[in-house]
Structures are given as C-alpha cells and as structure tokens.
Structure 1
C-alpha cells in the first residue's frame, strides 16, 4: 500500500513509519524537521511541512491508500495542536479525494468500560482532570473527524510506554478494554496499521490496551 504518516518524528509516528516499511509498504513521512526522523528506507519519501497550509500537503496525500496521524500535544502547553493540525490534514485529503484516515486519540476521550472497578475509575477521573485541556483538544479533533467526509478511525490508547512491539493487545470498537492500563507505542502503531482495511472500525473510536 501507499501510506502517508503525519507526526512521523513522534514516538508512535516513528513506529508507524518503521513498521510500515518493514511490511513492504511505500511511505511518505510528513515532518517539520527531517533531521529528527531516524528512519530510512528505499520506499520512504520525506516531506517537510509546517502543517499550516492544506494546499502544501495535497501532494503528500495524493493517490494514497491511507493516511495515518500521530499528531497531538506532547505536553499540556501544546493543547489545541491536535484539532488544529488535523483540520489541515483533513482539508488536504478531501481536496484530493483520499478517504482513509487513522489517528491517535486517548482512552479518556471514549466511554469507560462498565466492568472497571473503583481503582480504574478513580485513575481515569484523576488523569482526565489533570490533562483536561489535552483531552478537550482530542475531543474537538474527533468532532472534526465526524464532520468530515473521510473514513476515519480514532485509536484510543491508555498510558503509553516505550517498550518493544508484542503484537498482543486487546481492542474494542466503540469502547475500551476492561482494566486496560498500559500499551507500548509500538503496539499502538501495530494496531493502527492492522486496522487500515478493517471495515468495522470505519467512523469509530477504538480502544486499545494490554
């Protein structure tokens, strides 16, 4: 497949690029600073962009089978970046007639599992309060997806870890795995790539966790 990855220098973005190349896909990585992309390959094209102009991005998404985005706030002070940058990506995709889009959101944006106990509910409530602005940004991003004409999927992980790929995790379409507290960035990327052709995930949030 021909894939475009936004946010390719982030933790999940780098994994998306590397795993996609290893799987034999052609990848266009859109980055602000190419020097920060520590991935290379014969099937990799690197495009530099500040992600402010949809017209500038049209060539990066033209003719692609899917677009994957790891764009999002890296800290609370960056809140607002996910919705803003995703609007630019959506505008470029819709101008080129590219439909498939997968993005990274977060577990608290979606519904909590009914099976969770007091500990998990308490942790979820605390994290949601501390990162209120970040999650508000992600909710607005998901609202932008819902208003778009794309076949989107929002992947919602819990606390992220820098650990090796396992390929073993749980997913729930429209919900979240009970007592799912952690997942490696590598496995989030793996899940996103595996969902590209999964029709049951179209226009859905998907919880993913160990």
Structure 2
C-alpha cells in the first residue's frame, strides 16, 4: 500500500513508519524537521518536509494514497488545540482530494466507559481525566471533526502509552473500550492502526485498544 504518515517524528508515528516499511509498504513520512527522524527511518523511508499551514503541500502529501495515518497530538498537558487544528488541516486536504482512508490516534477517555469496569479503574480514569482535561477536550473536538468529514476515518483510542516492545497481543473493541485497559505500548498502537486499515468494521468508528 501507499501510505502517508503525519506526526512521523513522534513516538507512535515513528513506529507506524518503521512497521509499515518492514511490511513492504511505500511510506511517505510527513515531517517539519527531518533531523528528528532517527537515522534508520531517514535512510529507509522517503520523507517530505511539509509546513502544516501550507494547504497545497498537505494536499499533495495525501493525494493518491491508499491510507493516511496520523500520530498528531499534544505532547504535554497543555493541548492548545493541537489535535483539532492539525488534524483539521489533514481533513481539509483529504476532502479536497475526494476523501479516503484516515486513521488517527486519540485516547481511551474520549470513548465510552466500559459498563463493567471495576470501581478502582473508574476512579483512576476520572482522576486522569481531570488532570488531562484540556488534552481530552482537544481530542474530543478532533473526533467531532472526523465524524463530520467525508473521510473513511478510524480513531484509535489507547489508554496510557508506554515505550514497551511490539507484542501484537492486545484487545480491540470497535465502538467501545476494553475493560480494565490501563496501558498500551506505542509500538502496539502503531500495529493496531496498520491492522485496521483494511477492517471495514472500523470505518467511521472509534476503536478502543489496550492490553
């Protein structure tokens, strides 16, 4: 497949590029600073320097692709509308090209709370939600923009992200959230996103993923 990856220098983005290349896909990593790509990825993955404020450049990056994957989002507690704003630019570019397949990273608290979650997990979820309220509000607005778009989108919603190894052994709930899901490695988030590209049940859905 021909894939474009936004946010390719982030933790999840790097993993998407690495795994997609290993699987034999043609990957274009969209970056603002190529120096932030690790040497191994810079050598093996074509990359395009794209100012996300340049609509024509973003449109060129998504044109003719089989899927677009995005790891764009806040890198701290202060979101500043990053996910909504940057994903919005990708959406506008894709809609100008007639739509297409788009997969993005969101977060578990944006999805529905499992009805059977144990009380301690619900308490922890609410505490984290209070601390990261601004980040989750930004992601919720991003998801609202996805739902209103003409793209065949999927929002992948992991819980706490870790730097653990790729396992491929995680739970996936289309339209819901795994019970007692507390963490997921960035490598497995990337694995899930790539696996969901061709899953028709995930189109226009949020997908909860967790160990």
TM-score for both structures, normalised by structure 2:
0.97
SS of aligned partner of 2:127: helix
Aligned residues: 209
**Partner Cα separation in structure 2 for residue 175 and residue 78 of structure 1:** 24
What stretches of structure 1 of length at least 5 have no aligned partner? Answer: none
Match of 1:82 in 2: 83
TM-score for both structures, normalised by structure 1:
0.97
Match of 1:150 in 2: 151
Question: Is the contact between residue 62 and residue 98 of structure 1 (CA under 8 Å) also seen in structure 2?
Answer: no
Match of 2:42 in 1: 40
What stretches of structure 2 of length at least 5 have no aligned partner? Answer: none
**Partner Cα separation in structure 2 for residue 206 and residue 30 of structure 1:** 24
Question: Is the contact between residue 21 and residue 41 of structure 1 (CA under 8 Å) also seen in structure 2?
Answer: no
Distance apart, 1:115 and its partner CA: 1.1
**Partner Cα separation in structure 2 for residue 23 and residue 97 of structure 1:** 27
Distance apart, 1:97 and its partner CA: 2.1
Q: Which stretches of structure 1, 4 residues or more, deviate above 6 A after TM superposition?
A: none
SS of aligned partner of 2:146: helix
**Partner Cα separation in structure 1 for residue 106 and residue 96 of structure 2:** 24
Question: Is the contact between residue 51 and residue 57 of structure 1 (CA under 8 Å) also seen in structure 2?
Answer: yes
SS of aligned partner of 2:208: strand
- Quote the RMSD (CA, aligned, Å): 0.9
Structure 1 stretch 77-86 or stretch 26-35: which is displaced more? Answer: 77-86
